Amino acid sequence: MPHSHSVENLSVFLTEKHQDYDLFGYNFWASLEDTTGETTSFFFGLEQKGQKATGGVGFLSKNFENYSPENNQNGYIWSGFENENLVTTINPWSIELSDPNNSSSYIRIELLSGFFGSLNATYRLSADTLDESGKLIKVNVILNDSFGVINQGYGTTSFFPQYLTDLQRKEIMKLPDKTIGNYLNATKDPMDWQGDYYYALPLMDVLSYTIEYEGKVMSGFRGKSWLDYFVQSYNVESLSNMTGSRWN
């Protein structure tokens, strides 16, 4: 596939909307360290699934007291919403989800420099939105990729199977080294509808961040972040096979 041929092609693949697939998305996890050494757990994600796009930003920090037993709150602050489509721009690239119920609310990923997925590319994660109780959240995180993209799947296209048919399992067990990777190399089975193209940016440095919540501001210049990127298509059989599945 073209995205396996060059850095530029892979960058295009990682920034397309993939309307010919059923699902694609970006999920960031980060550990943010403020100027006092306090660490904040942070999530930031955008996803398109069919005709529905979702986005969310959440964090857990001692700097923001949000524990409320009567509301089943454990301190985790969260904002998320849905809309019909993610909106992209190019030169410079960005992808954004706006809140249909609040025109000023958004969740956005931007490429500030370099190729998406390349060493030393820089990114901005930003959001201006309301949490579940209507309180304002503003987020601005700048990341630099000190490692570059890696395959989380098999082969140069980073295909990650999510299930096997009985026939595929039998063929794998016939191989001297009974692995999915060897099976794919030996058979060139496309495994249509059975998995996703799965990449990760596993070692991004936090250059700076600011989180504003209820008028309080938390900021810092240290931390680490990880991005999972995925593209997938489904059919009736694949949906049936994956219904009720879970990570162990």
CATH code of the domain containing 46: 2.40.370.10
Which residues pair with residue 230 across a beta bridge? Answer: 25, 198
Whether 16 maps to a domain, the answer reads: yes
Whether 248 maps to a domain, the answer reads: no
Distances (CA, A) of 13 to 56, 61, 116, 166, 172: 23, 35, 9, 32, 30
How many domains, in total, are found in the chain? 1
Residue among 178, 227, 232 at smallest CA distance from 199: 227
Whether 203 maps to a domain, the answer reads: yes
Residue span of the structural domain in which 73 resides: 2-242
Whether 247 maps to a domain, the answer reads: no
Q: Are residues 22 and 48 in contact, defined by beta-carbon separation less than 8 angstroms?
A: no
Residue 72 identity: N
Residue among 150, 234, 245, 237 at smallest CA distance from 195: 234
Sequence length of the chain is 248
Which residues in the chain come in under a pLDDT of 50?
A: 1-2, 67, 69-72, 236, 238
Whether 94 maps to a domain, the answer reads: yes
Whether 158 maps to a domain, the answer reads: yes
147's CB contacts (< 8 A; 6+ apart) are 119, 201, 202, 203, 204
Whether 73 maps to a domain, the answer reads: yes
Residue 243 confidence (pLDDT): 60
Whether 177 maps to a domain, the answer reads: yes
Residue 14 confidence (pLDDT): 92
Q: Other CB atoms closer than 10 Å to residue 212's CB: what's the count?
A: 15
Distance CA 210, CA 107 (A): 15
Residue 67 confidence (pLDDT): 47
Distance CA 13, CA 92 (A): 16
